[in-house]
């Protein structure tokens, strides 16, 4: 959208009805995450109203799309096939939970017996030879492509389910804003490269006259002026529009069903056996776009008694390194 259209759109909002307090607050928060100086731009906050309102509605849908919390507790491992699918053994539950920095922070600062959080896992497919049920017959050494869950990560931790969904809404919205920030960061990096190139060419021309260097300098200055124009604060609303008006392209949840047979082996997609051999299904969501990894996510409810809050120093160090790599 060019500047003329942007000014016309902002002017039409001058006489529009006042927006809701929630939307105004969200616009202020979004601008703070990208560039606080945008509050001084003519037409603020109306210029951001349509994009933020659209993205907010999308993130609200995502936050409500995730299924109700799964009770992840050690004593539930034997009778809950979903918990058995997510963890290799019951003793893995306190280990996984206690390695998480958000869980350790909660354990130190809160007295509540339970917490709800978003748990992300990575799905890995593996070719194995294992037992398989065919009707009432149990066969051994059957080649199968099964799935396993690893790299458990806990985030958006709160005291109850509504509070967690509110945190998720904010996290999804921030993930969208990251794409806006990345665009601006890229432009600034390109500008820095052009400034360095300009300085080198000017140094060459001061040392000796060179027609080729002069031509390159003029081209560099033209490109630098174009980048400066793109970094003008009046253009930032266009960068918001490009992402927030098409949020599903940047952050989304894709339903995925994991099937489990009677002996706890998990399958996904075309490798799933016939329905006669399937006893349970685990409904998860694939979170696309929040970071560079592929995550399957679900809400979990955990109990303080299943925590080993201290953990070992190597475990805490390894977990901190893994979070930095995400």
pLDDT in tens, 28-66: 999 999 999 999 999 999 999 999 999 999 999 999 999
pLDDT of residue 12: 41
Reply yes or no on whether the pLDDT at 190 is more than 60.
yes
3-class DSSP state of 279:
strand
Reply yes or no on whether the pLDDT at 6 is more than 60.
no
Reply yes or no on whether the pLDDT at 273 is more than 70.
no
Alpha helices, DSSP H only, in the chain?
A: 3-12, 21-34, 49-65, 81-86, 92-99, 101-109, 161-207, 211-230, 236-244, 313-325
Lowest mean pLDDT of 89-98, 179-188, 279-288, 302-311, name the range. 302-311
Contact between residue 204 and residue 280 where contact means Cβ atoms under 8 Å apart = no
pLDDT one-digit tens code per residue, 229-268:
999 999 999 999 999 999 999 999 998 887 766 555 666 6
For residue 274, is it left (φ>0), alpha (ψ between -120 and 50) or beta? beta
Reply yes or no on whether the pLDDT at 199 is more than 70.
yes
Map tokens 């004593």 to a residue: 75
Burial of residue 192 (CB within 10 Å: 0-12, 13-18, 19+) is exposed
**Structure token pair of residue 253:** 């949840």
| Cα–Cα nearest to 234, from 12, 38, 31, 24 | 38
Beta-carbon contacts of 43 under 8 Å, excluding residues fewer than 6 positions away, are 6, 7, 10, 11, 13, 237
Contact between residue 303 and residue 117 where contact means Cβ atoms under 8 Å apart = no
Contact between residue 215 and residue 189 where contact means Cβ atoms under 8 Å apart = no
Bridge partner list, 116: 158, 301
Question: Cis ω on the peptide bond leading into residue 45 (within 30° of 0)?
Answer: yes
CA distance 195 to 225: 11
pLDDT one-digit tens code per residue, 62-91:
999 998 998 888 888 888 777 888 888 888
Map tokens 């997609």 to a residue: 269
**What is the torsion angle, in degrees rounded to the nearest 10, for the CA atoms of residue 50, residue 55, residue 57 and residue 59?**
-170
| Cα–Cα nearest to 243, from 287, 293, 182, 291 | 182
Reply yes or no on whether the pLDDT at 173 is more than 70.
yes
pLDDT of residue 308: 66
pLDDT of residue 84: 81
């Amino acid at each position: 959208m060019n500047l003329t259209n942007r000014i016309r759109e902002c002017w039409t909002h001058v006489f529009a009805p006042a927006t809701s307090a929630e939307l105004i607050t969200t616009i202020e928060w979004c601008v703070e995450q990208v560039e606080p100086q945008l509050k001084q731009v003519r037409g603020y906050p109306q210029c951001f109203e349509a994009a933020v309102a659209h993205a907010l509605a999308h993130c609200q849908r995502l936050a409500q799309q995730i299924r109700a919390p799964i009770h992840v507790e050690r004593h539930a491992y034997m009778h809950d096939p979903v918990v058995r699918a997510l963890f290799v053994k019951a003793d893995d539950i306190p280990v996984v939970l206690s390695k998480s920095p958000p869980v350790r922070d909660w354990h130190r600062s809160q007295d509540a017996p339970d917490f709800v959080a978003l748990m992300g896992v990575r799905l890995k497919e593996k070719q194995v030879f294992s037992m398989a049920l065919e009707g009432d017959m149990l066969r051994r050494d059957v080649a199968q492509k099964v799935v396993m869950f690893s790299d458990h990560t806990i985030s958006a931790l709160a005291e109850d389910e509504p509070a967690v969904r509110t945190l998720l809404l904010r996290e999804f919205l921030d993930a969208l804003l990251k794409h806006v920030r990345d665009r601006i960061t890229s432009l600034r990096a390109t500008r820095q490269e052009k400034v360095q190139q300009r300085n080198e060419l000017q140094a060459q021309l001061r040392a000796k006259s060179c027609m080729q260097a002069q031509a390159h300098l003029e081209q560099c200055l033209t490109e630098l002026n174009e980048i400066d124009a793109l970094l003008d604060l009046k253009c930032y609303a266009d960068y918001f529009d490009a992402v927030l008006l098409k949020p599903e392209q940047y952050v989304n949840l894709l339903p995925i069903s994991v099937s489990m047979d009677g002996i706890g082996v998990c399958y996904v997609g075309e490798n799933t056996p016939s329905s006669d051999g399937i006893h349970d299904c685990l409904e998860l969501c694939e979170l696309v776009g929040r970071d560079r990894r592929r995550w399957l996510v679900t809400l979990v409810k955990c109990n303080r008694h299943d925590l080993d809050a201290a953990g070992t120093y190597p475990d805490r160090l390894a977990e901190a390194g893994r979070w930095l790599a995400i």
